[in-house]
Amino acid sequence: MSGTDDQEPVIRVKGLVNRFGDHTVHENLDLTVEKGEILGVVGGSGTGKSVLLRSIIGLQRPNEGTIEVLGTDLSTLDNEARSRVERRFGVLFQQGALFSSLNLQENIALPLIEHIGLPREDAEYLARIKLSLVGLSPEDALKTPESLSGGMIKRAALARALALDPDILFLDEPTAGLDPIGAAAFDHLIKTLRDALGFSVFLVTHDLDTLHAACDRVAVLSQKRVLVADTLENVAQTDDEWVQEYFNGPRGRAAASSFVQE
Amino acid sequence: MPTQWFKREGNTLTLQGEWTLEHYATLKKALDGLDPKANAEIKLLGFERIDTAGAALLVNLLGVERAGQVDEWASDLPKSQRALIMRIASAMDVSLTLDTDTPNRLVSMLAGIGAQVEGLYRQQRELLGFIGLVLATALPIMINPRRWRVTATVAHVQQSGLNAVPIVMLLTFMVGAVVAFLGATVLQSFGATVYTINLVAFSFLREFGVLLAAILLAGRTASAFTAQLGAMKSNEEIDALKALGLDPIELLVLPRILAMLVSLPLLAFIGMLSGLLGGAVVSAVSLDIPFYQFMNTLQESVSLNHFLVGLAKAPVFAFIIAVIGCLEGFKVAGSAQSVGAHTTSSVVQSIFMVILIDALAALFFMEMGW
């Protein structure tokens, strides 16, 4: 793919510092995301998982540190170059963030029309394929976001995030608020889409099952930095109180055992 | 360059190159020029790049069934590309066309008018129903002072009354000055500039003082009520109150209405004074009517009942503004967009009702000779 060497990580965060007033969220945080991997980012509430995501996609200007995405530092680019990089991101926000004044197919067709310049008819046709791809019925295409359930909103938002066939997909708690069946289906969906489309995934989550089912590596945010980023087995053996409680607590063990059997 | 995407060799058609979103339009056009039946065999040896958009075109070309079996007949294709094509094929194995029937324009116009009228009727019915509900809730509380929510009421008096004093004063002062100028200009040709005082006094005591204050509060407070209650509604706070066995009308609506009933008459009074002051200043500065003469004329030729007629309307306006503001807040459903729509609606409705009632009241008072 243009612009990225296969060996180069798609995201490289170095020495990131984020402060809100006196409150330091990140202190000297380092993180890399390799091409084609699904990286799960976990951490207790308030450890700045979403802030990290927002920093990487450029919505939050860090106080210090560099963030390179797809080989370039977004903050050094002018608006046009930045937009070119940004359209290679797909972002699924926590609440979906579907445009409420547009119906589903218009939501997904918008970037196709604006960035690629497709005619509306083609864009909406592709939008309906995307809807079907994420498991919605193309008949839902004319529904408005407010008439959808939480699970449908997540799926539609994923379809919009996939609209431009991104190189990196950012997911902010994609399975939060879904029922277990829907959440498992979502994990499976992300994984099959990744295998088929080959993008990298930066996945912020609380969901232990998602970590087991979908993630290649897991990064633990704790003490204002990335405590450890490795495969799940190695992370679970880290000698840290929070990590031990998280992965080897009753829920962690339940999630782990259900995936060992498979 | 169509050859970029496919290569024809006798009876076989080899697809290749970059089947991506950027080339979607050109690729689609190139494929439209192909007759698939003329090609007995389509060969896939691997694409340089292919994404979902390209795969969708490929599936259209091959047909869903054949594309879904790409694993079996295109073993030269890299595994990831086969996976993508099969995934897209299964996604396209549903009806992707939408049957949108465009109705007759005349019919849809009539239907639109009908829906509007029905909406208006329903809105007024809801308003009357809500007024009834508020009164029914208020009556048992009125006779039981222990259930009065003094703190909430006072807080709302501060927000919607006290904080509005400066803007009401400024606005009425300026309108008072304008009315005085107008009066002076018109009355000068009759040599009756001194009647400017009567003009300012009559208009402000009977109409403008209360009307301007009411319109300001309709914009300022009705919208605030709708936004507050609407945010609570969309956050399910109102449902939470109900689930706790509490009455949202008693807790949320009555203090607001009561606060308005206190605030608006006071603001109307302040508006009257400030408007008169504006008139007096203009009279003194540019019409040579000194201040004491202004006061004198005011006392002699303007009777108390004009003031009472004006002020009597204030509680009615206050009630209707507060009720509309609260009702629109309760009507909010779901999203933040709905809060915005209902806030707009509440301002428009309350200003409309204020002016309508004011016009009817003016007619009534005139006929009564008050």
Q: Is the pLDDT of residue B67 over 60?
A: yes
- Judged by a CB distance cut-off of 8 A, whether residue B48 touches chain A is no
Same domain, A57 and A100: no
- Judged by a CB distance cut-off of 8 A, whether residue A259 touches chain B is no
Same domain, B30 and B72: yes
Read off the CATH number of the domain in which A21 is found: 3.40.50.300
> Is A106 among the domain residues?
yes
Condensed to tens digits (0 to 9), the pLDDT of residues A209-249 reads 888 888 888 888 888 888 888 887 888 888 888 888 888 87
Highest mean pLDDT among B51-55, B192-196, B340-344: B340-344
> CB B335 to CB A119 under 8 A?
no
More confident residue, B60 or B317: B317
Please, which pLDDT band fits residue B105 given cuts at 50, 70 and 90?
confident
Please, which pLDDT band fits residue B36 given cuts at 50, 70 and 90?
low
Q: How far apart are CA A165 and CA B53, in angstroms?
A: 8
Condensed to tens digits (0 to 9), the pLDDT of residues B144-185 reads 888 888 999 999 999 999 999 999 999 999 999 999 999 888
Same domain, B198 and B76: no
Q: How many domains does chain A have?
A: 2
Q: Which domain range does residue A148 map to? A: 91-165
Q: Is the pLDDT of residue B45 over 50?
A: yes
> Is A100 among the domain residues?
yes
Same domain, B335 and B205: yes
- Judged by a CB distance cut-off of 8 A, whether residue A164 touches chain B is yes
Q: Which domain range does residue B11 map to? A: 2-91
More confident residue, B317 or A21: B317
More confident residue, B94 or B276: B276
Q: Is the pLDDT of residue A5 over 70?
A: no
> Is A195 among the domain residues?
no
pLDDT (0 to 100) of residue B323 = 95
More confident residue, B104 or B268: B268
Please, which pLDDT band fits residue B39 given cuts at 50, 70 and 90?
low
Nearest CA in chain A to B100: A142
Mean pLDDT across the stretch B317-334? 93
Same domain, B75 and B215: no
CB nearest B51 (choices: A125, A138, A165): A165
pLDDT (0 to 100) of residue B38 = 56
More confident residue, B217 or A181: B217
Share of chain A residues as helix, strand and coil, in percent rounded to the nearest 5: 45, 25, 35
CB nearest A132 (choices: B28, B49, B94): B94
Condensed to tens digits (0 to 9), the pLDDT of residues A43-78 reads 888 788 888 888 888 888 888 888 888 888 888 888
Condensed to tens digits (0 to 9), the pLDDT of residues B228-263 reads 999 999 888 999 998 998 889 999 999 999 999 999
> Is A192 among the domain residues?
no
pLDDT (0 to 100) of residue B163 = 94
Q: What percent of chain A has pLDDT over 90?
A: 0
Same domain, A79 and A114: no
> Is B310 among the domain residues?
yes
- Residue A10 phi/psi, 5-degree rounding, is -80, -30
Rg over alpha carbons for chain A, rounded to the nearest Å, is 18
pLDDT (0 to 100) of residue B1 = 45
Please, which pLDDT band fits residue B272 given cuts at 50, 70 and 90?
very high
> Is B347 among the domain residues?
yes
> Is B183 among the domain residues?
yes
Number of H helices, E strands in chain A: 10, 10
> Is B110 among the domain residues?
no
Nearest CA in chain A to B336: A100
Same domain, A173 and A53: yes
Q: How many domains does chain B have?
A: 2
Element (H or E) spanning A84, and its range? helix A79-86
Same domain, B230 and B355: yes
> Is B211 among the domain residues?
yes
Q: Quick one: which of A166, A136, A167, A137 has its CA closest to A154?
A: A136
Mean pLDDT of chain B: 88
Same domain, B275 and B216: yes
Same domain, A208 and A222: yes
More confident residue, B323 or A33: B323
The alpha carbon of residue A195 is apart from the nearest alpha carbon of chain B, in Å, by: 7
Same domain, B162 and B16: no
> Is A193 among the domain residues?
no
Same domain, B181 and B226: yes
> Is B109 among the domain residues?
no
In angstroms, the Cα distances linking B164 to B219, B267, B280 are 11, 8, 23
> CB B96 to CB A132 under 8 A?
yes
Same domain, A14 and A56: yes
Same domain, A218 and A95: no
Condensed to tens digits (0 to 9), the pLDDT of residues B208-217 reads 999 999 999 9
> CB A146 to CB B334 under 8 A?
yes
Q: Under a CB-based contact definition with an 8 Å cutoff, are residues A198 and A167 in contact?
A: no
pLDDT (0 to 100) of residue A3 = 41
Q: How far apart are CA A225 and CA A13, in angstroms?
A: 11
As for the ipTM of the complex, it is 0.75
Q: How many CB atoms lie under 10 A from the CB of residue B272?
A: 26
Read off the CATH number of the domain in which B56 is found: 3.30.750
Q: How far apart are CA A61 and CA B323, in angstroms?
A: 45
Nearest CA in chain B to A120: B25
Please, which pLDDT band fits residue A2 given cuts at 50, 70 and 90?
very low
- Judged by a CB distance cut-off of 8 A, whether residue A88 touches chain B is no
Condensed to tens digits (0 to 9), the pLDDT of residues A115-158 reads 888 888 888 888 888 888 888 888 888 888 888 888 888 888 88
CA atoms within a 13 Å half-sphere pointing along the CA-CB vector of A240 = 16
Same domain, A220 and A117: no
Same domain, A120 and A236: no
More confident residue, A233 or B270: B270
> CB A196 to CB B338 under 8 A?
no
**Tokens representing residue B177 in the block:** 């000055």
Same domain, A73 and A173: yes
Same domain, A132 and A239: no
- Using DSSP's 3-state secondary structure scheme, residue B278 falls into helix
Mean pLDDT across the stretch B22-29? 82
More confident residue, A137 or B117: B117
Selected residues 320-359 of chain B with any CB under 8 Å from a CB in chain A: 334-338
Q: Is the pLDDT of residue B335 over 80?
A: no
- Residue B33 phi/psi, 5-degree rounding, is -75, -10
Q: How far apart are CA B369 and CA B359, in angstroms?
A: 15
Q: Is the pLDDT of residue B134 over 90?
A: yes
Q: Is the pLDDT of residue A4 over 50?
A: no
Q: How far apart are CA A135 and CA A129, in angstroms?
A: 10
Element (H or E) spanning A202, and its range? strand A200-204
Chain B residues with beta carbon closer than 8 angstroms to that of A197: 51-52, 84
**Tokens representing residue B288 in the block:** 């040579």
Selected residues 171-210 of chain A with any CB under 8 Å from a CB in chain B: 192-193, 195-198
Fill in the DSSP letter of residue A143: -
> Is A59 among the domain residues?
yes
Q: How far apart are CA A190 and CA B194, in angstroms?
A: 83
The alpha carbon of residue B91 is apart from the nearest alpha carbon of chain A, in Å, by: 5
Q: How far apart are CA A152 and CA A10, in angstroms?
A: 29
**Beta strands per DSSP E along B242-291:** none
- Interface A–B counts its CB contacts (< 8 A) at 74
